[in-house]
Amino acid sequence: MKGVILVGGYGTRLRPLTLTQPKPLVEFANKPMMLHQMKALAKVGVDTVILAVSYLPELLEKEMKIHAKALGINIIFSAEEKPLDTAGPLSLIKELRETDEPFFVLNSDIICEFPFQEMIEFHKKHGREGTIAVTKVEEPSKYGVCVFDEKTGKIDSFVEKPQEFVGNKINAGMYILNPSVLDRIQYNTPTSIEKEIFPAMAHDCSLYAFVLPGFWMDVGQPKDFLTGMSMYLMYLRKTDPSQLASGDYVVGNVIVDPTAKIGNSCRIGPNVVIGPNVRIEDGVCLKNCTVLAESVILTHSWINNSIIGRKVLSLTRFGFCKRKKEKILIFFI
């Protein structure tokens, strides 16, 4: 089985972290964002992952080839010469037409429990062209809502930012599609899968909704990145607590890379991720934040609700910083 990950965007909402690397390589819980998806795909037998790329493809290729080899999967890079939206890139991938087997399509900035085996079984059961993962939201009027039969999953329509309640499930950015869907996409032409392809499939009664269990977050902007991080840490607490740090300095759910150095009298947590080769000096307080690789947090700093970029040196407890070698600064949210 094959999987496609759409990685062509510039990641502008997550700048400045994405000025020097594509968004899928930004570390989420000390792994490149996209690696969480690749591991989940490999776990259900996906043997080929195709990356639809455009922005900084050479960096993606260099790093993801290493991870693909470790996972034992084949990785293919499909480059678009012009922006093709969310469906257009699929038209360029000839490998998707080589068999009649369904394939995954994923947005690269989604974090969840990745119930891919359940999605596969649901897709086989209804036997139609496509399956969309959907997730429940508290304020559906802010999103495009998926209207479907709660018993069968058959999608009737999509309503953009409804003013009256029509449902509370939205597109979660993960799909299983049959190769026949490619016939709906004009070759090398900008096409929206959400606004053009999916409504047409729903009209033909060919599209079904799979309701995601557990947490879900699009982590493509700083505030949601941190919210998704706290959700993911809670998920680890329930499913694999051995990945979480412990000690007198730890409060709540925290990940600390083994190469990081933590000083005396620190208070780390809740909801903190500390990356490789980070140095936390004495008396530091961190809460609701990520500290990326090789950064240094100086004595008695206090940082809250922030993403600290790679190789950042903090100057004061108020979180100002200066650059070391890379042009990445602290975010405040």
Distances in Å between the alpha carbon of 45 and those of 2, 4, 37, 124, 126? 9, 14, 13, 15, 21
Residues identified as active-site: 161
**Does residue 210 contact residue 153 with C-beta atoms inside 8 Å?**
yes
**Number of residues that make up the chain:** 333
Q: How many CB atoms lie within 10 A of CB 182?
A: 18
**Does residue 202 contact residue 181 with C-beta atoms inside 8 Å?**
no
Q: Cα Rg for the chain, rounded, in angstroms?
A: 21
Sign of torsion, CA 105 111 116 122? Answer: negative
Tokens describing residue 331: 């975010």
Interatomic CA distance for residues 247 and 250, integer angstroms: 5
> What is the 8-class DSSP label of residue 284?
-
